[in-house]
Amino acid sequence: MNIQWFPGHMAKARRQVTEKLKQIDVVIELLDARLPLSSRNPMIDEIVSEKPRLILLNKADLADTEVTEQWVNYFKERNLRTLPIDALSGKGVNRLPAMCQELAADMLNRRKEKGMQARAVRVMILGIPNVGKSSLINRLSKRSVAQTGDRPAVTKSQQWVKMGDSLDLLDTPGILWPKFEDQMVGLRLATSGAIKDELIDFVEVSLYAIAYLLHYYPERLKERYKLTDLPEDRVEMLEEIAKKRGCVAGRGGIDYEKAAELFLRELRSGKLGPITLERPVDWEMETPIGQPAGMSQSE
């Protein structure tokens, strides 16, 4: 499966982001805590350049806490400030204004030295679709100023949102990149719901996710689907899920498509417990966990 998704409004958004950066003091890069690198647009490093940056690992409530700490250390080693948050519940969000002020300290001091009037720190929030940008803005502003949804690409345009006297936030549409060089990234994004379901193969994506859970979270599968023993084969595991969920076709056959869709929805909603879909070590493997047979990592 070759997953690609780069709607026209995303190309336009990239151009707009580049133009607006001249007005920006701090960039917030919002990532999915369940798949930090796969949800990180590699074009952002090029676009953002030397702007002070804060990385937020959103949806931390759905992610494995121990693995999230591994990712915090991973970014720390690369001199990037990182903070796990949950935009929906607000956990960790109250620390953002102070952190943005700290990152903008040099700019604020220069203005003060020049005798210029103090102003709010201008912050741009960047991230791929469905990572929670609008939810974060609504949480920070304590009102519904940004449209939210459980489907990717809800935000289609930029908007400024004032946060008292200290912060002005610029919301932007989610931007994916034109081509996923690593198709494992596409599979992880599809598993998390960052790519429209109409564009994915539920069975292939679910088989990737099942293989990953069989390796890292077997007990979660046992508990959720009330199994004493787990099959070693991902297809057999999907068949077990189908039987437990009543996804049976005519004459007792398995409705793989329905079973795969139900499994992905349960995984995304956290019904299998807090799960992270990638670890720093996964990016070092020659053959990543869950890689479909016959597919190279860069295919």
- Residue with the bigger pLDDT between 288 and 269: it is 269
Is residue 133's pLDDT more than 50?
A: yes
pTM of this structure? 0.86
pLDDT value, residue 134: 82
Same structural domain, 20 and 152? yes
Same structural domain, 23 and 154? yes
When pLDDT is cut at 50, 70 and 90, the band that residue 230 belongs to is: very high
pLDDT value, residue 151: 42
DSSP 55: E
SS3 content of the chain, % helix, strand, coil (to 5): 45, 10, 45
- Least confident among 9-13, 16-20, 47-51, 93-97: 9-13
When pLDDT is cut at 50, 70 and 90, the band that residue 89 belongs to is: very high
Average pLDDT score over the chain: 85
DSSP 79: T
Is residue 120's pLDDT more than 60?
A: yes
Same structural domain, 49 and 132? yes
When pLDDT is cut at 50, 70 and 90, the band that residue 288 belongs to is: confident
Mean pLDDT of 200-205: 95
Is residue 105's pLDDT more than 60?
A: yes
In a domain, residue 2? The reply is no
- Residue with the bigger pLDDT between 8 and 29: it is 29
CATH number at residue 82: 3.40.50.300
Mean pLDDT of 225-245: 95
Same structural domain, 278 and 226? yes
In a domain, residue 270? The reply is yes
Domain boundary among 155, 171, 187: 171
Same structural domain, 139 and 213? no
In a domain, residue 192? The reply is no
Same structural domain, 158 and 223? no
Residues 249, 111: Cα–Cα separation, whole Å:
69
Nearest to 23 by CA among 117, 107, 145: 107
Pairing of strands 167-171, 159-163: antiparallel
Residues 249, 236: Cα–Cα separation, whole Å:
16
pLDDT value, residue 7: 55
pLDDT per residue over 241-275, tens digit each? 999 999 987 777 999 999 999 999 999 999 999 99
- Least confident among 60-64, 85-89, 114-118: 114-118
pLDDT per residue over 55-65, tens digit each? 999 999 999 99
In a domain, residue 193? The reply is no
In a domain, residue 131? The reply is yes
Domain boundary among 171, 189, 224: 171
Domain boundary among 118, 150, 171: 171
pLDDT value, residue 246: 93
pLDDT per residue over 134-185, tens digit each? 889 888 877 665 544 444 444 445 678 887 778 898 877 666 665 566 788 8
Same structural domain, 119 and 253? no
Residues 208, 262: Cα–Cα separation, whole Å:
15
Which residue range is the domain that position 264 belongs to?
A: 201-284
Instruction: For the beta carbon of residue 117, count every other beta carbon within 10 angstroms.
Output: 6
Same structural domain, 165 and 223? no
CATH number at residue 278: 1.10.1580.10
- Percent of the chain exceeding pLDDT 90 equals 55
Same structural domain, 36 and 111? yes
Same structural domain, 165 and 209? no
**How many domains, the chain?**
2
In a domain, residue 161? The reply is yes
In a domain, residue 124? The reply is yes
Same structural domain, 126 and 16? yes
Same structural domain, 35 and 103? yes
- Percent of the chain exceeding pLDDT 70 equals 84
In a domain, residue 74? The reply is yes
